[in-house]
Each structure stands twice: as structure tokens, then as C-alpha cells.
Chains A and B, each alone.
Chain A
């Protein structure tokens, strides 16, 4: 079955960087678009970024554009999110999620918590 396991979360100071990883299994990762979605404490879901199956296309939410970079390593079945210039408002649970064969998110990981605080 599909498994998405995020890692790399933690407490980081404002202005610093952090890289999240998502290990995927149970589906053909190299043929699947992948997303990052976040949820601030007590708030709703916010879409962050998407990357195409081969990494050639990447799109970002305005709130993270220029600061976050989504990437993937299909040889390792792993998705990444490089987060730079972190702000307090980036504090959230970050979920890794996959697309169906069409642009619909169908499976989610359990999330990793990122806290930006001095």
C-alpha cells in the first residue's frame, strides 16, 4: 500500500533553513506528481508546492515563492522541500502528498512539525 513518511522537522530560528524529506513506497514514484501541503496549528490546509513526475515542472504558492524549493530524487523514491529564510508564519505541520493520474491529491503522509521560533 502507499506509504509516505516525512522527516526533517524541528525547531529552527527565524531566518534559518531546514530541509524536509519524504520517503515514498507502494507506488511508482517516478511516474507520480508530488506535493507539499502545510497546516498551521489550529488552522486550515494550505497548498505549498508541486513537482511533476520527472522534476521538470515546479509550482509554488505565493507565500513561499523564492524561499522554498521542491525537488525529488527518483532513484531514492524521495521528495524534498528546502526551506530558506524561515519566518514565524511558516510554523506548521508539513504533509507530503501524491497525485493520482490526474491533478488530484489522493494520499498523504502523517506530517512533520516545523516550528520557527527564537
Chain B
């Protein structure tokens, strides 16, 4: 049950696009389309931003998009805003019926 691998930090200027990667194995990310992404501001509970690899819940900005290729999923934030500055985590269903989170990525808006 090793954590999925994410970059520790990603930064961008307002209006730019950034992409966060999430690398697992064929037993989790690569094996299922049950990949989700969460945004967490300091002291707050996580918020679902993307589910089923690329779907957005109602109310989430279309500036957030997700994709997957092989064992790696990605979250792209376009038109970066100051409010996007937060920690982001990926999560995947696994072949053991458990879940595994990514190591987390701190997004900084310059």
C-alpha cells in the first residue's frame, strides 16, 4: 500500500496553466478509472474536484480537468487564480478493494 507519487510542489503565475501528476501501478491508477482529486486549504477538510479520472462534480470550475495515461493520472488547472493556492491529493481504488492517496502537491500562485 505505497502512496501514489506526486510532485511535492508546483507553482505558476495567475492566468497560467499547471499540471500535477500522480503515478501509481497497474494495481491502482492503471487498473481502474476510479481516480479522484481533492483540494485542501489549510485547516479545512478536503474537497472533491475530479472523480472517475476526468469528471467534475457540480459546482467545480471547468478550469479543473483530469486525465490518465497508463499508471499516471494528471490534474490540470488552467487560468490559475490566487484561490487555487492549496494542497492537492490524488486518490485511487486498488485491487485489494482499499484506497490509496497520493503524497500531495502544494500549489503556489506566484
Interface residues of A (CB under 8 A from B): 35, 37, 44-47, 50, 57, 59-63, 95, 100, 102-111
Contact = CB atoms under 8 A, between A and B. Distances in A.
B110 interface: no
A60 B98 CA distance: 7
A104 B89 contact: no
B96 interface: yes
Given A102-B52, A104-B52, A47 B45 contact: no
Contacts of A109: 45
Given A45-B101, A47-B99, A50-B98, A103 B45 contact: no
Interface of B: 1, 3, 34, 36, 38, 40, 45-48, 51-52, 57, 87, 89, 91, 93, 96-104
A95 B46 CA distance: 9
A104 B36 contact: yes
Contacts of B87: 44
Contact of B51 (A47, A61, A104, A111): A104
